[in-house]
Structure 1
Amino acid sequence: MSKRAASTAASANASSAPKRARASPKSDAKDDAPRSPAAPTGVDHVAPDWVPRNKELPKGTLSFARPQEGDVRMVIWNITSLKSSDAKGLMRYIKAEDPDVLILSETKVNAPPAHAGLDAIYAHQYWGIGEKKGYAGVAVLSKTKPSEVHYGLPGFHDPSSRARMITVVFPHTVVVGTYAVNAGDQLKTLDNKMRWNDALEKHLQTYADRDLIWCGDLNVVWDDRDLAGASKKWNKSAGYTEAECDAHRRVLGATEMQDAWRVLHPEAVGEYTYYGWRGNCRARGAGWRIDTFIANARALPRITACEIRHAIYGASDHLPVVADVRGPL
């Protein structure tokens, strides 16, 4: 671990932004067939040296710079199960960050939980739970009461739909919290992922005339800057196939939405939000950036900051991602 990484892991302080890696030049290689814009360029990446390699939450006090006056702080976090993350420091981070809206994915709860820590912060809680016990799950927790809450993805006829999406309508902003379908080992559920994308496009278009933020674990990357070892994973690993990446681009194009993190960090490479437990991925800097905030043209200018909490690893194999949104919601 570099001195910078050690410092970041120890303090977890968002006030000092690290110098970011720049994208490598595109490959000059040409194919006879048209290439997907997401296809690997031939230059593989890992996380830069300044990204921490810690495997548990940093010791000591966690502290983060507060949002600008008038901004609302939102956090997305795949917690890989409420029960397991709770035992590994879930509330240490949430209390330190103190987001106004918290979107959790892969909660794996079978009923809305009675959780003293979360209940003390969030008066308004919405838990999306599927038919299969201990599987998937999404939740939106808010200090402000929304005007409408809708569970599931309309048109996606799957038993897990309710556990994968919650649409929360605030007076000025629509927030769609998501735990997207995964294409699965050996891409065995890729067809279901395509059906998900078709339904998703229609659902997001429903709110085209509103300020819209779609966020959570999207289980897809934009291009090879967002995963390690891209050339070996193209069309082999869920989340980085031509079918998924092109469908993701189609959805964003049809809804006039953009990845807020990428807009604010256009040249960043190797800044990941997920490092699998297996294969020593965290230590090797071998991750994926699959958790993010996507905003339409109306909402994007309101996102004043969007950051990955690189040091907050260990309570989950995903990292929280923070967005500050010019309020009110």
Structure 2
Amino acid sequence: MKIISYNVNGIRAAATKGLFTWLQATDADMICLQEVKALVIQIPEIIALIEQLGYHHYWFPAEKKGYSGVAILTKVKPNNVAYGCGEPWIDAEGRILRADFDTFSLMSVYLPSGSSGDERQIKKYEFMRFFDVYIDEVRKEHPNLIISGDYNICHQAIDIHNPKSNANSSGFLPEEREWMELFMNNGFIDSFRHFNKDPHHYTWWSYRAGARGKNLGWRIDYHLVSRPMENRLKNVRILPDALHSDHCPVLLEIE
């Protein structure tokens, strides 16, 4: 089974860059999208394309138009879909969506960015604290859990092109990296690092100064897989040649 996570930075913009031709070629079973930046009623042509490709689709957009929002596309119809997490401000920003299947649950998540200033960094820390407690509760009922999405955090120095100059940058702050470490140590596998320990693998690049062409990037998109599913992991690949966004997709293959 192939599962893709992709921050598309606006599904309408990504669609104009060939997103759905690319998706058809990948033939993924499930796709977690972040930053869709659209309401379903705004994208009828895109919905038609998704359905033509054989996907059931579930959306949790932000209340603010053109902002945030997550979705799950799946060729396997889920048994249940959970929209949001019950925390009002997080749900208003459209950041968490979960689909439950026979043998595992899949979550599309989009953590806040703190790069715009102190106020949003505080909200990011608030999200992180909430998410710890929330996921512990979810796992009581759904122990086989894949949390796919844009965490807006580089875990280790190997995950960012210039760790020294970015030491005080949101997304690579010591508190964020420590949270990521503790979160994983609480029962999750960084599936990409499970297979690949090499440097220079990134999932996001700034649009400035030709960063993508120079591969000056950050690895902030993950498939975190709960420990009980470790023996089902087959492969994970970052797909930097997909050019529909400032992010690129991450492909997870499981039994």
**TM-score, normalization: structure 1?**
0.72
- Where does structure 1 differ by over 3 angstroms across 4 or more consecutive aligned residues? 159-162
2:29 maps to 1:100: yes
User: Equivalent of 1:184, from 111, 115, 118?
Assistant: 115
Q: Larger C-alpha radius of gyration, 1 or 2?
A: 1
More helix by share: 2
User: How far does residue 277 in structure 1 lie from its aligned partner after superposition?
Assistant: 1.2
1:152 and 1:162 in contact (8 A); partners too? no
Q: Output one character per residue of 1:179-224: Cα deviation in whole Å (capped at 9) or x when no partner.
A: 1111122444121111111121122212335211111111111111
Look up the match of 1:142.
Answer: 74
Gaps of 5+ in 2: none
**SS state at 2:126 partner:** helix
Aligned positions of 1:1-329 closer than 5 A: 72-111=1-40, 113-114=43-44, 115=46, 116-154=48-86, 156-158=87-89, 160-161=91-92, 163-209=94-140, 210-235=143-168, 237-254=169-186, 256-265=187-196, 267-313=197-243, 315-326=244-255
Distance 1:306 1:141 in 2: 19
- Judged with a 3 Å threshold, the aligned counterparts in structure 2 of structure 1 residues 162 and 153 are, in CA distance, closer, same or farther, namely farther
**SS state at 2:146 partner:** strand
Distance 1:283 1:297 in 2: 36
Distance 2:103 2:134 in 1: 18
**TM-score, normalization: structure 2?**
0.93
**SS state at 1:189 partner:** helix
Gaps of 5+ in 1: 1-71
**SS state at 1:163 partner:** coil
**SS state at 1:167 partner:** strand
- Judged with a 3 Å threshold, the aligned counterparts in structure 2 of structure 1 residues 295 and 161 are, in CA distance, closer, same or farther, namely farther
- Counterpart amino acid of residue 142 in structure 1: T
More strand by share: 2
2:9 and 2:36 in contact (8 A); partners too? yes
1:187 and 1:238 in contact (8 A); partners too? no
- Counterpart amino acid of residue 149 in structure 1: V
- Judged with a 3 Å threshold, the aligned counterparts in structure 2 of structure 1 residues 161 and 219 are, in CA distance, closer, same or farther, namely farther
Question: Between Structure 1 and Structure 2, how many residues are aligned?
Answer: 250
**SS state at 1:208 partner:** helix
User: How far does residue 285 in structure 1 lie from its aligned partner after superposition?
Assistant: 1.4
User: How far does residue 158 in structure 1 lie from its aligned partner after superposition?
Assistant: 1.0
**SS state at 1:197 partner:** helix
User: How far does residue 174 in structure 1 lie from its aligned partner after superposition?
Assistant: 1.0
CA RMSD for the aligned pairs? 1.6
